Amino acid sequence: MEERDYLYLKGTEELGEIIDILRNFEGKDIILVVPEGTRALAHPVNIEILKKELGNTRKKIYFNTEDTGISSLLKAAGFNVFLEEYEPEALQKMVTDIIVPSKKKAKTAPRVVSKKRGSEDEDESEDEQELRPRPFKPKRQKKFSAKSFLYVIGGIAVITGGVVMILNAFGSKATLTVFPKQEIKQFDEIIELRPDLITADPENQLMQGTKVAVTKTHTTSISATGEGRGGARAKGDIEISNSSGKSLSLVQGTRFQSSDAKIFRSTERVYVPANGSETVSVVADESGGQYNKEIGAVFSIPGLSGTSWEKDLIAKAASAISGGAQSGTKVVTLDDLANGKTQTEKELRGILMKELALKYPEFVFPEEIGVITIGKIDASHKVGQQTDKVSFSATGDVQTIAPKKEPLVEFLKDLVAKKNLQQQQYVEIAQIDIEQVRIMDLDPKLKFIRIQVQGKVRLKGTVNTADLAKSLIGKRLEEIKNILDQTPGVENAEASLWPFWRKTFPTDPSEIEIIIE
């Protein structure tokens, strides 16, 4: 019978440990005793990995286990399971050669190897006496000595030094962010605008202006406030035309009927000549706004119905027949007309101002408008007429002289600089904010306009970045602070160096970047 060596597992080994044990063992014919519940061999993927790793070892390996699950996986993968490959007659003899795994855990690695066996004819007692354990020696754990520690520290120092040398070889860079000094001041200037001026004259505060004009029509309405008391009958005049060759006299109280069957009566006797006409005053039979008629309204004369005069006489309203109202209704008052006209003019002025800003967005206009002309304001009703609303309509136009915004801002900068910056060399105007523009004087013929401009100016310190960079060459951070404290126009600054361990600014000014905030 072939010699075989026994190897015993504890059941807690990882798959890699089992593979190393089988690879490193010297024997070629091995029986591996696997305890029940060995997790490393309880999964088909691990069994396939084990088969692949042991495929080139040229060792014959048998597995002995009472775990039916592991046994099934091993057989399915093509491994030899001990005792299952022999005939029943040989099993009795071979069983005596099996050394049962010890239940006591060894302190060393759990691999115990039996002595190689001879032929089947040798005595069983003799075989047992020759069996001797061959313990598997675990790999010695390397200890981390002080000498190794020094080697590691030395290696790190060498690498760090190399990195520093490489970074230094590429030079250094510096960034300086400068925050200039700032100051807010108020300004108040009087400027005269002239349309015929060719060149601005800051010394005399003269500037070019442009004539602009806008025309707009506006309609508004207000509620009537008068109260109709006891009702009122509409009154007016009717013109009677006679196309016959005969004259006709109509007595006082003659009835005239409108197209909507409203009856009016003449207030006097009237004589209508042949082929002529005459006007007579009429009054409505009843009070109410429904009796109010427009000029030109046609009337019939019921008393002449069915006679030849019915066709010969034509009656029309010579004026508006108005004033009809019932108790509790609204009628127009004098105050309504006055208030409506005032409101219309006020709204029209505001609309003209807005229209100027929309039509000329590049210009600056004062709060007051220039020369304004408001035409006749028409009202939809007269005093005493019945209505809930009274409408008003008017057309207006405005003409003025205005400056363009950008030239005005530049002109103001010149004026402010002349007054505020003559003694400040390292200051510039950063921003001009116009807050209010008012008309001080206006020529009716629009030859000039004098305006007052008020607002705020933001002054900002100036820094010559090229000169500043040269003054910082090779300087330490402490020295740079003193230099910046003595630099006019600088409020504060922030510096950063690369590489970070550098303590001085580069010697090349091109490697110094200065950012002005």
The answer on 316 and 352 residing in a single domain is no
CATH number, position 316: 2.40.30
Tally of domains in the chain: 4
The answer on 254 and 122 residing in a single domain is no
- 498, amino acid identity: W
Strands 206-208 and 182-194 turn out to be: parallel
The answer on 220 and 349 residing in a single domain is yes
The answer on 367 and 291 residing in a single domain is no
Q: Judge whether 475 lies within some domain.
A: yes
Q: How far apart are CA 199 and CA 210, in angstroms?
A: 13
For residue 508, the 8-state DSSP code is: S
The answer on 122 and 11 residing in a single domain is yes
Q: Residue 93 to residues 7, 83, 88, 123, 124: CA-CA distances in angstroms?
A: 20, 11, 10, 11, 9
Last residue in a domain, options 402, 430, 454: 402
Q: How far apart are CA 186 and CA 432, in angstroms?
A: 10
Q: Judge whether 491 lies within some domain.
A: yes
Residue 243 above 70 pLDDT? yes
Q: Judge whether 279 lies within some domain.
A: yes
What are 398-408's pLDDT values in tens digits?
A: 999 999 999 99
The answer on 483 and 348 residing in a single domain is no
259 pLDDT band, cuts 50/70/90, is very high
- Beta bridge partners, 298, equal 316
146 pLDDT band, cuts 50/70/90, is low
Q: Judge whether 94 lies within some domain.
A: yes
Q: Before 499, cis peptide (omega within 30)?
A: yes
Strands 427-442 and 449-461 turn out to be: antiparallel
Residue 72 structure tokens: 């099934």
What are 449-481's pLDDT values in tens digits?
A: 999 999 999 988 888 888 888 888 888 888 888
The answer on 109 and 17 residing in a single domain is yes
Half-sphere exposure of 208 (CA within 13 A, CB side): 11
> How close are the terminal C-alpha atoms of the chain, in Å?
94
Q: How far apart are CA 22 and CA 357, in angstroms?
A: 96
Contacts 24+ apart (CB under 8 A), 129-133: 131/99
503 in Cβ contact with 477 (< 8 Å): yes
Last residue in a domain, options 381, 402, 423: 402
The answer on 242 and 122 residing in a single domain is no
Least confident of 46-50, 109-113, 281-285, 446-450: 109-113
Q: How far apart are CA 296 and CA 316, in angstroms?
A: 5
pTM over 0.75: no
The answer on 441 and 346 residing in a single domain is no
Q: Judge whether 140 lies within some domain.
A: no
Containing structural domain, residue 42: 5-130
